[in-house]
């Protein structure tokens, strides 16, 4: 190749890189992720952060209550939320997503459960439905253990109690963090005491505890559900490379449970567990990074694999 051809080709490559850099606004360099403080969203946010940083972006996680995350998406203070659990967050979805004020990019997980649960010994003793709770009220001390204040599932439980659904008018919702709730469940299980709590899949609690989900609460919690990826309005168009990555991202319960179990059993930090899982399952990156470049216009797949 002669010198003029080399210079011409170099100019084309520089122009392509410059075009890519200009295709995304400078604000796209930092991606603000909403996190309610749940173990499963810590995993999906951690995966997204690993990929984004490998591509040359900066991932910034903001720990906020679910209603604040939706408001942040609406106001442009949060870019992305990977934890729109449906139908548990139906009211927030209807208010912001169905009205077009927040964008749904895709469903990233299916076949989830999110409802009240009890240990299997309580289930086998006759607590199989929501209506069975009141029949054994004294054994439960008329308490249902939920997660952080403001969580949509907690609001559903409060509505049930206020409406005296299933005869629960004298019951109390105990709000706490996910971790504190599971500590309470662990204590009760150790003593074989009855305990009613908010359970969901994916989550290692399904492996750590012999537990069963109650039927009859579909009016409040729906049937098996799904999780959506949401973004602030117009984000995927303004940041098309990040938008493409987000539209590619999908997860499985087996993946999330495996990573969460490593973290909750204290065998690894969240970042270490994610990296180890990706090292063991590198083929998943092919789909996630299809059509995605690094921030400077390079090969996105190669850039991320270099971080492994």
Looking up residue 244, the CATH number of its domain turns out to be 3.40.190.10
CA distance 226 to 172: 28
Are 83 and 120 in a shared domain? no
CB 70 within 8 A of CB 98: no
For residue 18, tell me if it sits in a domain: no
Q: Are residues 299 and 210 in the same domain?
A: no
Rounded Cα–Cα distance for residues 95 and 99 (Å): 6
Domain that includes residue 279, residue range: 26-112+226-305
The pLDDT of residue 46: 97
Res 266: pLDDT? 80
Q: Are residues 235 and 249 in the same domain?
A: yes
Helices 39-54, 270-280: crossing angle, 10 deg rounding: 70
- Residue 3 in domain: no
Rounded CA gap, 246 and 240, in Å? 10
Tally of domains in the chain: 2
Measure the CA–CA gap between 218 and 224, rounded to whole angstroms. Answer: 9
Residues 6 or more apart whose Cβ sits within 8 Å of residue 68: 150
Helix, strand, coil % in the chain, rounded to nearest 5: 50, 20, 30
Q: What is the predicted pLDDT for the residue at 214?
A: 97
CATH code of residue 159: 3.40.190.100
Q: What is the pLDDT of residue 19?
A: 43
- Return the pLDDT at 88: 86
Q: What pLDDT sits at residue 265?
A: 81
* Structural contact between residues 295 and 241, judged by C-beta atoms closer than 8 angstroms: yes
Same domain, yes or no, for 104 and 32?
A: yes
pLDDT of the chain along its 308 residues, tens only?
A: 554 444 444 444 444 443 444 467 888 999 999 999 988 999 999 999 999 999 999 999 999 999 999 999 999 999 999 999 998 899 999 999 999 999 999 999 999 989 999 999 999 999 999 999 999 999 999 999 999 988 889 999 999 999 999 999 999 999 999 999 999 999 999 999 999 999 999 998 988 899 999 999 999 998 778 999 999 999 999 999 999 999 999 999 999 999 998 888 888 999 999 999 999 999 999 999 999 999 999 999 999 999 99
CA dihedral for 92, 97, 102, 105, sign (positive or negative) = positive
Token pair, residue 74, equals: 């609406």
Buried b or exposed e, range 57-96, using 16+ CB within 10 angstroms = bebebeebbbbbbbbbbbeeebbbbbbbbbbbbbebbebb
């Amino acid at each position: 190749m002669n010198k003029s051809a080399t210079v011409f080709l170099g100019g084309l490559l520089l122009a392509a890189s410059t075009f890519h850099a200009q295709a995304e606004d400078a604000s796209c360099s930092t991606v603000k992720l909403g996190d309610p403080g749940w173990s499963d969203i810590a995993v999906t946010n951690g995966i997204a952060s690993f990929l984004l940083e490998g591509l040359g972006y900066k991932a910034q996680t903001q720990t906020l209550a679910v209603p604040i995350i939706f408001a942040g998406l609406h106001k442009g203070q949060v870019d992305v939320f990977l934890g729109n659990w449906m139908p548990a967050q139906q009211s927030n979805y209807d208010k912001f997503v169905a009205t077009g004020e927040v964008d749904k990019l895709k469903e990233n997980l299916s076949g989830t459960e999110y409802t009240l649960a009890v240990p299997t010994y309580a289930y086998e003793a006759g607590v199989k439905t929501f209506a069975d709770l009141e029949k054994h009220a004294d054994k439960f001390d008329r308490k249902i253990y939920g997660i952080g204040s403001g969580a949509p599932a907690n609001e559903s439980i409060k509505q049930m109690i206020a409406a005296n659904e299933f005869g629960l008018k004298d019951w109390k919702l105990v709000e706490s963090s996910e971790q504190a709730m599971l500590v309470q469940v662990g204590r009760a299980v150790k003593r074989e005491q009855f305990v009613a709590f908010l359970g969901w899949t994916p989550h290692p609690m399904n492996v750590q505890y012999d537990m069963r989900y109650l039927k009859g609460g579909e009016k409040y919690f729906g049937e098996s559900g799904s999780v959506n990826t949401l973004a602030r309005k117009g984000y995927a168009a303004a940041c098309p490379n990040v938008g493409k990555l987000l539209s590619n991202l999908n997860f499985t319960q087996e993946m999330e449970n495996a990573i969460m179990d490593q973290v909750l059993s204290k065998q690894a930090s969240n970042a270490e567990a994610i990296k180890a899982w990706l090292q063991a399952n590198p083929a998943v990156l092919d789909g996630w990074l299809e059509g995605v470049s690094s921030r400077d216009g390079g090969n996105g797949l190669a850039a991320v694999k270099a971080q492994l």
